[in-house]
Each structure stands twice: as structure tokens, then as C-alpha cells.
A = this chain, B = another copy of it.
Amino acid sequence: MEHVPVQRFCEFMTPSTIELQFLDELKSDQREYRRKEVITREGEKVANVFLLRSGWVTSSFAVDSGKRNQLVKLHFPGDVLGLPSIALTKTAETLIAATPTKVDVIPIERLASMFERAPRLAFTLFLSTQQERLMLMDHLAAVSHTSAQQRVAALLMYVHRRLKLFGECSDVLDLPMSQQQIADAAGLTSVHVNRTLGELKRADLICTEGKVIRLLDIDRLEELAAFPDRASVRNPWWLTSIGQQPFMGD
């Protein structure tokens, strides 16, 4: 039974055995990347999406003709990478492995066939990307309405939450990101991120031990980050009523 890597498909319902098998057969290939290796560079032709099996991946955009970067999303195991660009001829995102990484390669035509063969999975993926869209909206609201401290805290808490899902998490974060990248994610400059981290340290919210960040007061950090909390549906009848048996013909 696959567990972590298909969490995107388990978030709203539990897939049947046949569906899990179908998912497993989507991949055409499996690839590994080293830290900082490029998975996809913006401008390249779009042919695949990727299921992240292990490792962290950053998704970013060049802005200002390359002078700056916008880090749009930090991906964790179970995430599907590259979806936003499937309607384009050239990829918009640059995907870079932040840690050593394993991905399944899923050709777009197989993804398309999922809509015919496994509609329940397709709708689940659809729901999951709507959630992503919402997170982007929250990110957008945050970037234009919150202070540097809040944005940095929000980033830390986001990572903390995701890691908690895997149980891999204590109050210690080993961020594989430079301050420059944190800045790109939060919409700040590296200089200012540095100062902001300093402020958080002085406020006894975090401390750093080498590259590692220790979260000293998670409650206050959560409060600072001020994520809107949104409750997701689980097993809604309109989802579970869709045909459960995918058509596995030919």
C-alpha cells in the first residue's frame, strides 16, 4: 500500500485498491535529483507532470527579467509538480530540488486518461488543486497585507505544519534554503530577511544552531503567522458517489 506519496489523493477520500493500482501505473519513469538540480526550467516544453516521492522542491518564477525570483511554492512528498503549466506550451515554473529528491514522471496524456478511466481520482485531484488555488490566494493576501515578521513566521509555520503530517517533526527545522530563497518566498530582500530573523531571535521566538532553526514558541509563532484556518471536507457524498470502479479496459 502506497501511503505518503499519494496523500494528495487520500485527503478527501480513501482510494480503492484498484484506484491505487491505477495511480501506480500512471508513471512512465522514475527520476532522482541532487540538491539544487533543475527538474524543469521555465520556457521548456511541457510534456509531464511529476509526483514527488521524497525530498523538497521549490517552484519559482523569474521576475524583472531574471533579476529577482518569486518562490511560489514549497513542495513536499505527495505533491504533484508541474500542474499549473499543463495548459501551456512552455512551462512557467522552474522546479528545483531543494534536497535530494525522487519523483515519478507522469506524461500528460496519462493524466488525461485518468479523467476517463478513474473519474473519482480525477475529481479528487481537482479538489486538491482548488485547495492549492486557495493557498495561493491566502499567500497573495499575506504578501500585500502583512509585515516582514509575519511573513517569515508564516513560512516557518507552513513548513512546520507540512512536516508534522509526516510525523517527522519536532520543534527543529532544518531548512534547506538560503536567506535569499526565504526572501524570494516571502517577497522580501535577503538583507531584510536576515534582520527579521534577528528580530525573531531577540523576541525569543526562534533560535538558530548552525543552519538549523529551533522554534522556541510555536504558539506565538502561529499567532504571528495568522493563517486563516479552513476546514476541508472529508468523504462528501457527492464525491464518494462517483463510480468507484475505474474502467481498466484495454
Contact = CB atoms under 8 A, between A and B. Distances in A.
Given A70-B145, A145-B63, A231-B90, A129 B133 contact: yes
Interface stretch (A23-31, A79-87, A161-169, A209-217): A79-87
Interface in A232-250: 232-233, 236-239, 241-243
Contacts of A139: 140
A84 B143 contact: no
Contact of A112 (B133, B134, B136, B242): B242
A242 B116 contact: yes
Interface string A106-141: 001100110110011011011111111110111111
A88 interface: yes
Question: Which of the listed residues A89, A137, A138 has the most CB atoms from chain B within 10 Å of its own CB?
Answer: A137
A61 B135 CA distance: 12
A230 interface: yes
Interface in A22-57: none
Contact of A129 (B70, B112, B126): B126
Contacts of A123: 112, 115, 122
Contact of A83 (B85, B115, B130): B130
Question: Which of the listed residues A108, A115, A138, A230 has the most CB atoms from chain B within 10 Å of its own CB?
Answer: A115
Interface string A59-70: 001011000101
Given A92-B228, A119-B119, A145 B84 contact: no
11 contacts: A12-B87, A61-B141, A72-B137, A87-B128, A87-B131, A126-B129, A129-B129, A129-B130, A143-B143, A143-B144, A145-B187
Given A70-B137, A86-B127, 6 more contacts: A61-B141, A87-B233, A92-B134, A109-B241, A143-B187, A145-B187
